Chain A
């Protein structure tokens, strides 16, 4: 048995050249083979990769999709994002629990099923959703949950749960998913296929010098679509000019910001546009390698994307003398993630690509100076790279005149929540929130979360503001909250998410977010008072200022923005007079254990 294990592990490691920096892939394959990474398996991997065992254990313990203890054959991951909650997700979750006879977080006695919660899996427009092993199931109801359990119990493979395929490439034989695209509005850059000429962008780029390509991207005024909005051309220039022995292009397809799902639709419908963009980026910065970092939740797209890459290789667009350009040897590999939001942060993402825990690195040095394997690296979002292809195809002037004059181009927005038409909207920058709400059929909104939990929550007085870099910036997530929604419950959910996803490296984020959540819980429980708001304000500033990476620096935003825009929600819950006591302290509760042990009642309660 153990000989066998070593043999299998050794085969897996050989597949990745016994290269310790490919440990993500090794562990992923081993995990798929054995269902978990046992102690013996960790030993075998460490031996084969010639790395300390603790590196393997550390990696396994970091990612939500890896386990060091036996997990069930079928792992059901219930997406418990706020949008799923709003769509009666709890009814679905309760049904799964009842039907399986376990609580979420447990495994059935026979080892057949595990139930877990997972944050946003990128299906907010078709919530409630769940991942059953790698299979995505959407639009769940209690009835459907019952059927699913029945089918699985009767031995059906999770893939068999998909009865009807979604539209477009969701029905492709390598995808076969029930996911739907929900493209509600096609804009000129990414989704309007009418005048798109695949391959032209790359051809034009290769006819130019790399410096000219970078200049074109600068002239187009392309800014990053992943959230931070950094000018793409400038990033490429830094990367090109940094000294190093090789350079790398990384496409960030981690799409972990709750409420964002537009990259999923690009990956499904426009993979060539993306890979062309990556190739152009590779040419511009002088890279030979591209990495697509694909979130573990989108594993169902992996075979399809691998196939697209193979086709590009076959037609000479990748590999030796890519696209016929002598001396330009560029190829792309896919790096699968494994369920960690922080890996969307570019330095954590690089750690993950290097076969490490997804811990962010200290910046500076920035990835453009020292990124993947210590060499200059350009990390860009999926949508950003698609824009690149179109800029090189149609010219920077064409691109920069789309938008509101300041922010150039279109933006893909993932709209979900209380609206009639959730889905992906490609819209020129400059649209007001109000216009957007009307389009999506959510004009009666009481609040909109722009940019996901790390963005901000705004109310009707801000609905006249524009979606653009200069005003309301967003990586794409737009969550709509209709009349009657409890906004503080939303904030609570977001803080729960950050507490869960903090990598734990630095204290302000690891501890600070917990303290914020505790104080928020206290207020929501009706035990807060005025000074708690002041305390929250102080804490929020501290966590933002003292955290090491973008996660901690933005994690207090749900509280910060609602304290600013929805202060009345907090104030309505505050106690008036407390006489100097702390209402959250409950003496009765605190002496209960001792009362039981001593078998007498407290004289003070």
Chain B
């Protein structure tokens, strides 16, 4: 029987959550016994090759491309998990949500004290995805089945959650894994 597939993506995140996935250390060997990695930065597969059991999402949606990727994940994954604060709530990137987009861009590319931009242009190459008016947590764009708290969630929490989902068991996260003080 073919192994179930796992896909991951980093949207508006810092890759810290992916680092935490890698932090499961040697259990990664166990993991590849259990699943095949599909679309993911871990194996650099760019497009889905088939239906996935689990999709892990890091980061919320700050631009149109994030939305596109997230929708693709929803279409291709049975279970979608928001991993970490950014995916769940918007996180640090969402700090811009109270500031109009134009002001953010002006500050970043024109007016900021350390900006050197003789052209006076805000980058506008068509290759660059357009930003959204604010940063959206994933569940405001598509349905999310589970949320793993943390910035990033500890490797043990990610491991416990993925293992439980693969075995179709309730996710039991001991207090130590979801305590952040």
Show the binding face of A for B, using Cβ within 8 Å.
531, 578-582, 584-585, 587, 589-595, 597-600, 602-605
Contact = CB atoms under 8 A, between A and B. Distances in A.
A582 B143 contact: yes
Given A597-B122, A604-B65, A590 B133 contact: yes
B132 A581 contact: no
B101 A581 contact: no
B141 A582 contact: yes
B126 A593 contact: no
A582 B139 contact: yes
A594 B139 CA distance: 22
Contact of A602 (B64, B102, B122): B64
A594 B132 contact: yes
Interface string B79-103: 0100000000000000000001110
Category for how many chain B residues contact A: 20 to 34
Given A580-B143, A595-B130, A598-B130, A587 B101 contact: no
Contacts of A531: 143
B105 A585 contact: no
9 contacts: A531-B143, A581-B142, A582-B141, A589-B133, A590-B67, A591-B133, A595-B130, A599-B124, A604-B67
B136 interface: yes
Interface stretch (B42-50, B68-76, B153-161, B163-171): B68-76
Contact of A604 (B68, B133, B142, B143): B68
A591 B124 contact: no
Contacts of B133: 589-594
B140 interface: yes
Contacts of B71: 581
A581 B143 contact: yes
Interface in B137-154: 139-143
Contact of B74 (A581, A584, A592, A605): A581
Nearest to B105: A597
A579 B67 contact: no
A603 B71 CA distance: 15
B75 A585 contact: no
A67 B7 CA distance: 56
A412 to B, nearest CB: 47
A462 to B, nearest CB: 36
B140 A582 contact: yes
B84 to A, nearest CB: 19
Given A587-B64, A603-B64, A594 B101 contact: yes
Contacts of A578: 143
B102 A590 contact: no
Which one of B100, B131, B132, B140 has the highest number of Cβ atoms from chain A below 10 Å of its Cβ? B132
Contacts of B132: 590-591, 594
A324 to B, nearest CB: 66
Nearest to B131: A594
B124 A600 contact: yes
B136 A593 contact: no
Contact of B102 (A580, A582, A593, A599): A593
Contacts of A597: 101-102, 105, 122
Contacts of B143: 531, 578, 580-582
A35 to B, nearest CB: 33
Nearest to B145: A580
A587 B68 CA distance: 10
**For the complex of A and B, 3 pairs with smallest distance between CB atoms:** A594-B130, A590-B132, A580-B74
A589 B63 CA distance: 12
Contacts of B80: 580
Given A579-B75, A593-B102, A602-B130, 11 more contacts: A579-B74, A581-B74, A590-B64, A590-B133, A591-B132, A593-B101, A594-B63, A595-B130, A597-B105, A602-B64, A604-B67
A600 B126 contact: yes
A543 to B, nearest CB: 20
A604 B143 CA distance: 19
Contact of A598 (B124, B139, B140): B124
Given A580-B142, A593-B101, A598-B124, A585 B64 contact: no
A590 B136 contact: yes
A605 B67 CA distance: 11
A597 B68 CA distance: 21
Contacts of A587: 64, 67
Contacts of B63: 594
A578 B102 CA distance: 32
